[in-house]
Structure 1
């Protein structure tokens, strides 16, 4: 109990708080769909709601019986959608400019943030411009880079032109890495800002390591377990995983390979590598245990804008072998918490994998350093960064952090 006769008392002084914003967030993917965009965007929305902002989430209806949620801390508006070719479990938002103009006329947001550049995102951009609403955007997926993996490489230039037009019509485009910012600016994109992705460090941590899970994979104390997490699809460069696996098996008597995820290449990979473990989709604590229980994370993709799985692995104490691009370029320190190879140098990737198999002690040393590098990437800090950019866009300065001062009380 406070002594009312004392001369001083410590009180927490909060400066005038940042004003609560009415935000409309537009996305064509959302949980329970599992991909980097949906999972990271949901964390960001939760963080913005926790900071007392009013969020209206606009997304495609995922099933015929999908209903807008009312108890999530934010409002949902469901739009028409259709399955994406080759990604039938995901939906593409259909154009809805008229419906959005009507919704935003009745309930006008302070700012519209568009996370995806599909038909729904384009409709949202046009509706917001009609109503003179401020718009910001995310650049989250390298669609132009994916085109070459699906036999439509000739579409690369038109896709880049569309993305440039889309983002340059917004006041701000958020990207997750400095390298991507430099690439987009060189390609004619304007007003590009870096906002890192977050990671749940309470979920993904080294203490999740499970010897029982390793035993289920057939691994012993002397085994090396390689882990791959993500969609089993052409753009992920999974041939490189098999090449690295074979190189490591030559150098070490007991190497295991575990795939977490699903996709169109699953059956082909199973036929080519029957000794691998195909765990399917894993979530939450189960996924965290997979990360922490492996010995090396392989990330051979060169088409990612970020690659959230990279920082999830590091947070779990799992060292990473990757090309020097996307999240790995920013968060993997070569020969400390992982290893980096020049982008596209597949021979070097396989050779380095074999070298690590010959010196497994290097993996043990890297485990101890893996999680320290990403410890500051908690989602509260990311929400603060995004909030500051929204307020900057609206011309409102962000408020400083609260301070603690001693205040003298009047005599009683």
Structure 2
């Protein structure tokens, strides 16, 4: 649009919270503002907001409640009347909803009532998460609610073509694949640090296995450990570095300490250049999660020139499978195949080097400006149409 768009972005999570969704949304907001668009952020007020200015520019903060099993995070309470009043007074050209919580439902209802085009993101398999938190009987209800939510929007953005196909088969309509990006200036093999490896107690000849992510059941850290112990039978010099925190960290550390010299190090949450240095200073990346819609950490590992073992879903399935850039394991083959792939790659130095170089090259094609440019173009297309756009077929 000639003079820029007015965009309302609604999200349950945003910095100073630290997770993949929050950081990705902040990057999109910053990009859109730099492109001359006016972006308002609607999100829950967090206790950590004090002293931070993240998202305070043109922000609407709503009340929230603690999110179970995710300390420090909240979900936004319904805010239909506030949103109606705000958007009647200052009508956005398009509303983009990142998360499907009560706040997201309120935003969807308000946008529909005011006849404002509304787009949504599909980022989390909440119905799959239910099985990890003893809520399996609710999976069907959660799945139906998510489908209803997204089908009431004008388009749902998904990160991979495979996910778009999977969702279409179970009744999702109006899907568009815009992908995800990676900061190739931040995540780079040039950040490899001998000093950091020395702190880990390893030299150039040692093998460092890395896992980055939330230490929670849905990420399957038990399989990371099983694969590492299988590697260590062949490579006693191997070390495992855990980057991240979560509800399973204490149990994982206790189990590690009980094994004597188990070769594991827990370094907690890392950010920015420190995180990039951890990626680049490792030698092998394990990512066994089956609950991901994408897996941003896979792109970060790729850009850091790390050989990767992962299942054929999300980023690995979209960008690495059949491209000679990783050991991508079929989900149907299960944990045994994942462990076998990790063991094999630990012994194959030349294969690791080839995978690392190819993955790094592929990551250069996924720099954020290209991905966010697609996102901007999609928003612009919907902002210039009437809400009857729901009748227009969407390219998936």
Of 85, 88, 95, 1:105 maps to 88
Residue of structure 2 equivalent to 1:314: 302
TM-score w.r.t. structure 1 length?
Answer: 0.89
Check conservation: 1:114, 1:138, Cα contact below 8 A. Answer: yes
1:41 aligns with 2:25: yes
* Matched pairs, number: 379
Residue of structure 2 equivalent to 1:198: 181
Cα distance in 1 for residues equivalent to 2:323 and 2:31: 34
Residue of structure 1 equivalent to 2:9: 25
Residue of structure 1 equivalent to 2:266: 278
Q: CA deviation at 1:113?
A: 0.4
Check conservation: 1:49, 1:73, Cα contact below 8 A. Answer: no
Q: C-alpha offsets along residues 127-178 of structure 1, whole Å, 9 cap, x if unaligned?
A: 1111111100000111011010000111111001000110011000000001
Alignment of 1:182-261 (within 5 A): 182-261=165-244
Residue of structure 1 equivalent to 2:325: 337
Cα distance in 1 for residues equivalent to 2:349 and 2:113: 60
Q: C-alpha offsets along residues 303-355 of structure 1, whole Å, 9 cap, x if unaligned?
A: 10110000000001111110111111012245732111011511011111111
Residue of structure 1 equivalent to 2:102: 119
Give RMSD over aligned pairs: 1.7
Q: CA deviation at 1:281?
A: 0.5
Of 55, 65, 84, 2:39 maps to 55
Of 325, 338, 342, 1:349 maps to 338
Residue of structure 2 equivalent to 1:138: 121
**Greater Rg, structure 1 or structure 2?**
1
RCO higher in structure (CA 8 A, sep ≥6)? 1
Residue of structure 2 equivalent to 1:385: 374
Q: C-alpha offsets along residues 178-224 of structure 1, whole Å, 9 cap, x if unaligned?
A: 11101111110110000111111110011000011111111122211
Gaps of 5+ in 2: 386-396
Cα distance in 2 for residues equivalent to 1:67 and 1:216: 32
TM-score w.r.t. structure 2 length?
Answer: 0.92
Runs of 4 or more consecutive aligned structure 1 residues displaced over 6 Å after TM superposition = none
1:375 aligns with 2:364: yes
Cα distance in 2 for residues equivalent to 1:195 and 1:36: 16
Q: What SS does the aligned partner of 1:264 have?
A: coil
